[in-house]
Amino acid sequence: MRNRPQFSRAALVGWARDEGPDRVDSDSLEGALRPVLDRLRLPAGLLASLTGIRSRLLYPAGRPANAGAILAAERLLAGLAPLKERLDGLYSTSVGRDFLEPSTASVIQARLGLGPEVKSLDLSSACLGFIDGLEAAAVKIEGGFSEYALVAAGENSRPLLENTLTRLLAPETTVKDFFRNFASLTLGSGGAAMIVGPASRHPTAPRLKAMVSRADASANDLCRGDFTGMETDSTALLEAGVALAADTFQEGARSFGWRADDFDLVVCHQVSEVNTRRFCQALGLKWERIVKTYPDFGNMGPVAVPFAFDLAWEQGRIKPGSRVALMGIGSGLCCAMMEVEIPQL
């Protein structure tokens, strides 16, 4: 069925993350914005209180947008060296790009020293890119057209954040301008990489089981941006996104019998505490089962889902027999949800 693929042969063979080295807390950002906050009579602590974000990570100035993806992929392949020569696919799923051409995937391929047999391409769907990359890899493995594929993403939010600070400090900035640019202040940086391969060769690896996706393209104008700036109608985006997420989960229930309590852990793209709580309420998900990354890492776009998965695995929250949901909503709007099952030992 369209947009409702099921998998029986694809598994997550390995994964890794990279963290931006510079931590910037919300109080520091508000300190930089103090002149405009005072002029507009906006209260102290606004950023943390509205988002639940205490801090976010950044890469150093001048670092390429793809650096996080390359660093995570290098770390992953260092631990899975025999698979490097067996890769035949590479999907770069980042939002941020340093140039329109060539593809970011080709740069990653060259930096990793992957051979000419690797088909590489950029696959972007805003904050959902990584989940869609996993789907693309799994579909090819299911069909026997691929053996192992690398999915990678890296986001460097420093340029956008610094441009936003400059814009907001302009003397003509209004309260409306401030909140139209507010979402840019939530962004964090990081990188992640995963290898998808044949489940038959990796009996203990997490299995990709099923996926549903839905879109509401009529909402494509609610969030638009590039490195020079990003403007968002946060209220309308939240309402439309939550409605789309509920519709998508209902599709999973119809197609695969999903129920909220079926999932032991939910790994999702996160914008803020408000968004995440509304997401949980709409789907009936338990708050304690959400792997929360927004408080310390901010909104990392497509990096958020694989980053949170790696973090949860490191913390021992993903156990044999667990059912894990990968979920997200991306500008456009698009929504995707993927079921992952951890085999019993």
- Dump pLDDT digits (tens) for 61-105: 889 989 999 999 999 999 999 999 999 999 999 998 888 899 999
The Cα 32–Cα 125 span in angstroms is: 32
User: Residue 298 carries which DSSP code?
Assistant: -
- Comparing C-alpha atoms, which of 288, 275, 270 is closest to residue 234? 275
The Cα 68–Cα 75 span in angstroms is: 11
Q: How many CB atoms lie within 10 A of CB 322?
A: 17
- Dump pLDDT digits (tens) for 255-310: 999 999 999 999 999 889 999 999 999 999 999 999 999 999 999 999 999 999 99
Q: What's the topology of domain 204-341?
A: Peroxisomal Thiolase; Chain A, domain 1 (3.40.47)
pLDDT at residue 10, rounded to an integer: 97
Estimate to the nearest angstrom the gap between the alpha carbon of 64 and the chain centroid: 18
- Check: CB of residue 127 under 8 Å from CB of residue 300: no
Pairing of strands 334-341, 323-330: antiparallel
- Comparing C-alpha atoms, which of 191, 184, 134, 159 is closest to residue 299? 184
Active site residues: 101, 127
Q: What is each CA distance from 210 to 252, 256, 285, 305, in whole angstroms?
A: 9, 8, 18, 16
- Dump pLDDT digits (tens) for 161-192: 999 999 999 999 999 999 999 989 999 999 99
Task: Name the residue with higher pLDDT: 225 or 66.
Answer: 66
